[in-house]
Structure 1
């Protein structure tokens, strides 16, 4: 896997005089069957989240409210994206180190995952991740 596999996904958006509605369906708008949904909120100023990679789990992050910065690292390359549109998600492939920061006040990040929670699927130590990715110095 590489950072080229991580990409923005535009979700359907329906607008009318009452407001907007976006939706997502697993194996249709999200490129996997959904097994877990979780969300981050009440993030304190200057706080970061993430700081891990998954061995097999795929994820899509959606900024339901506000904005935040996503830092991606595949062991060889890094890139940073700001997510701020609630009808746009970021697909994150397995073996991608993830850091989230610069949360706006009241930001809510929805995460959709391809697997149930398993601590065995995590790299929480960057050096161990790099060794497994065979790309870090």
Structure 2
């Protein structure tokens, strides 16, 4: 099941510095980011192998998640909050604010065969 982790952040008079080191539970092989989203729904899949870490660097969005047993909705609205998605987590991203930038770290290189588009039956 998907779960959230808080990223270590250092704050002082100069601003904030958030560190992603030894906290994501996989080796990162790919990084992508989603921005400029209108009212569209992104995602709509799960994976055979890929684990992901989603961080909304700016703005906010929501991620609906279903792992075959449990459904949850996560609000990502601070850049030090990270949502870990397991391969079995069928997810959709939506309600992006106009300034949202969602960065995703992935455990695998892109492979179209890794995607499963059929949602779980409720």
TM-score, normalised to structure 1's length? 0.85
Partner of 2:36: 42
CA RMSD of aligned residues (A): 1.1
Partner of 1:133: none
Find the residue that maps to 2:78 and give its secondary structure: coil
**Runs of 4+ displaced beyond 4 Å:** none
Partner of 1:19: 15
Structure 2: unaligned runs, 5 residues or longer: none
Q: Which has the larger radius of gyration?
A: 1
Q: 1:10 aligns with which of 6, 13, 19?
A: 6
Q: 1:83 aligns with which of 76, 87, 98?
A: 76
Structure 1: unaligned runs, 5 residues or longer: 131-135
Greater share of helix:
1
Partner of 1:115: 108
**Number of matched residues?**
122
- Answering whether residue 26 of structure 2 is matched by residue 32 of structure 1, we say yes
CA distance in 2, matches of 1:101, 1:60: 16
CA distance in 1, matches of 2:90, 2:73: 12
Find the residue that maps to 1:106 and give its secondary structure: coil
CA distance in 2, matches of 1:74, 1:32: 19
